[in-house]
Amino acid sequence: MTTSEQWHDLAVRMGSGAVMLIVGMGAVAAGGDIFHGFVAIICGAMVWELVRMLAPDAPRVALQLGLLSGVVSMVAIYLPPVAAVPVLLAPAFVGLSLIRDHRAIYLVFVAGVLLAGYGMMSVRDDLGFIWMLWLALVVVCTDVAGYFAGRMFGGPRFWPRVSPKKTWSGTGAGWVAAAVLGLVFTFFTEAGLMLVVLSALLSFASQMGDIAESAVKRKMNVKDSSALIPGHGGLLDRFDGMLGASIVILLIIQLAGLPAGMG
């Protein structure tokens, strides 16, 4: 592969990425209903993309389940956690009666998308702007470092059967970048060095989200989840890492409580 081929999509990716960053950070900064609505739209769109991949002959079903998922995401954050969980899982089970094939994939991914969305809203509502920013930057740094290191250094593939483009050099660079980001955040927060470890853990979780989505696309023989974002594919392609990281941080908060200095 020539140098020009390696970087042919960089300009488009950076342009689309800049727009997403501005819109996303604006929603994070606004918080409250604006951020909830932003996340709900993203979740609904991701479910729409997923159903279009799994059931390409049922566009109406994809639209219906996407709309239902968006509404459920918006409603659940205002409910107590014990009531929010069954509400969030409703679209996953409703879809089982509407989709003929790949039901297990649908069930797992829709549940993951909606729980991840709830996790992002919870981090912003309960921990504040700074920690939602940290979570987003962990995923962004992992993705950016992995992209550049993979293109520059190449080397052995991380999991070639599932994600043939992901290399060990890119994967390791993502962990290092996230750990460095965690270290930076310890200087202007009360969080200790455990944040460095947690950042690396969430980096790995974001990569697993990316790989899981790649496995679905590979199984369905599609390149991108949609063409909504130039240079990136669909929202599911772009937010797959955030899904993994958000689910893990939600589990940590619910099962182990807030890490020291994050409350």
Q: Is residue 261 part of a domain?
A: no
Q: Within 10 A of 23 (CB to CB), how many other CB atoms are there? A: 11
Question: Both ends of the chain: CA-CA distance in Å?
Answer: 48
Q: What is the pLDDT of residue 260?
A: 61
Is 38 inside a domain boundary?
Answer: yes
Answer whether residue 263 is part of any domain: no
Confidence (pLDDT) at 143: 87
pLDDT value of position 152: 75
In a domain, 262, yes or no: no
80 belongs to a structural domain: yes
Residue 121 pLDDT: 95
Say whether pLDDT at 126 is over 50.
yes
Whole-number average pLDDT of the chain: 86
113: confidence class by pLDDT, cuts 50, 70, 90: very high
The two beta strands, 157-159 and 163-167, are: antiparallel
Question: Residue 232 has what pLDDT?
Answer: 64
User: Per the domain annotation, does 52 fall within a domain?
Assistant: yes
pTM score, whole prediction:
0.87
> b/e map of 176-213 (b: 16 or more CB within 10 Å)?
ebbbebbeebbeeeebeeebbebbbbbbbbbbbbbbbb
The residue range of the domain holding 88 is 3-256
Per-residue model confidence as pLDDT tens digits over 15-68 = 766 777 788 889 999 999 999 999 999 999 999 999 999 999 999 999 999 999
pLDDT the model gives residue 24: 87
Contact 225, 233 (CB under 8 A): yes
Position 167 in a domain: yes
**Number of Cα atoms under 13 Å in the Cβ half of residue 38:** 20
Residue 77 domain-assigned (yes or no): yes
Summarised one tens digit per residue, pLDDT across range 171-221 is 888 999 999 999 999 998 888 889 999 999 999 999 999 889 888 988 898
Number of domains in the chain: 1
